[in-house]
Amino acid sequence: MLMHLCALSGLKALKVGQTFVLATPEKLKSGYPTEYAKAFGEEVATPEPPALEVEVVQLRYLRGSEAISFIEKFFAKSDLVAEVAPSMITPGLSRAETSATTGVQAGTLTESGSETGNGSKLLILRGPRQRLEEARRLLEAIDLARPQVVIEVTIHDINEDALKEMGMSWSLGNLAISESSPNKLNFGTFTRVPQAFSAAIKALEQQNRAKLLASPNISVLEGEKAFILIGDRLVFPVLVGYTQANTPIFSREEERVGIYLQVSAQVSSDGQVTLVLYPQVSTVTGFLEVNGASYPQISTREAQTTLRVPSGQTIVMGGLLKDEEIVQLERVPIISQIPLIGELFTRRKRTKVSSQVIISITPTILKSED
């Protein structure tokens, strides 16, 4: 019966296990090559592997190393090989190799220093044409420009008594004026955005009760870290041991003194900016001599926070307090130096001054042209 069906239909019957499969010879060869060769004594040709091709992909924003780590998650090395093309020297940021630096510095770096890695944007792919096209489509989908954020910062040192007099209330509310003329001459609606905070600070500056310490701006890509340093890099020796001749061995350490602000930004699709802020305000109060080494004693005011703010709006950070005791000495020349009676011609005045560092930060997302 099976033979008659095969003869009439032009099909072949192949026994696979306890089952007979009816199909054309070509389909039986491709579907059951081993069974077909045993049953009919024909060798089934092994299909040739697809030809391998090499393609160079020019990335726009991603680094080659970042693209490779992403591709390796989707393609086996037997299907696709990806390598980063050699690149020219990539500039990086690092601390100045001098004994001390003073002034304004800004840049982007990691916690331990500058880190650039392989900055090449050329990617070399090797594999079958189908895999190359799949990899190219995947790279085009993820090779997008990261948003860039401009961060405007103002840092004030304000007298604590002045803040108490203000009651810590810097908002005077909105002022809206609507003008309507009976002669049908309408000037529309006037709205004033509250500028109470900046106005109050300006007033305190004029009274010498607030001091503008810094007003820097910095731009940073999403996901990167940036810093602003307005002050000194103080380098001092540190005793690490002694030689066999009992000679001290010193190494160098560095402290940032002044205003040091570290920041990183993340941008959401709805225009919100998530900021990680770490401001530090420090001063050198003295030096401690230990085993021939002079160690700086540093007074620091710092805070660390993560917050979210709409693009273009200002946030204010406070609470970095400092208490100082100022001693004023007035004396009559010569007479005040006489023992016993000299104190009668000497006047001392002790004043306690409390201040607070107020930091206002305005992040703005730069619009991409493309």
Q: Is 65 helix (H, G, I), strand (E, B) or coil?
A: helix
> What is residue 334's predicted lDDT score, i.e. its pLDDT?
76
Distance CA 210, CA 318 (A): 14
Q: What is the pLDDT of residues 183-214, one digit of tens each?
A: 444 444 333 344 556 667 777 777 777 788 87
Q: Is 212 helix (H, G, I), strand (E, B) or coil?
A: strand
237 and 252 Cβ atoms separated by less than 8 Å: yes
Q: How far is CA 162 from CA 87, 142, 209, in A?
A: 57, 52, 7
Length of the chain: 370
The dihedral over CA atoms of 98, 103, 107, 112, expressed in degrees to the nearest 10, equals 50
Q: How far is CA 288 from CA 232, 249, 253, in A?
A: 19, 18, 15
- The CATH 3.30.1370.120 portion of the chain extends over 52-87+119-142
Provide the whole-model pTM.
0.57
Q: Please list the residues that pair with 19 across neighbouring strands.
A: 16
- The span from the first CA to the last CA of the chain, in angstroms, equals 71
Distance CA 259, CA 358 (A): 12
The CATH class for the domain spanning 52-87+119-142 reads alpha beta
For 221, residues 6+ apart whose C-beta sits below 8 A from its C-beta are: 108, 146, 147, 148, 149
Q: Kind of pairing, strands 272-290 and 175-179?
A: unpaired
- Chunk the chain into consecutive blocks of 10 residues (it has 370) and report each block's average pLDDT, rounded to whole numbers: 66 77 77 76 65 90 87 88 75 47 42 46 90 92 89 83 59 40 43 54 75 84 87 82 82 85 89 89 82 78 85 80 67 77 74 75 80
For 44, residues 6+ apart whose C-beta sits below 8 A from its C-beta are: 29, 33, 36, 37
> In the structure encoding, which two tokens stand for residue 149, read together?
């954020």
CA 350 to chain CA centroid, Å, is 45
Q: Kind of pairing, strands 12-16 and 305-310?
A: unpaired
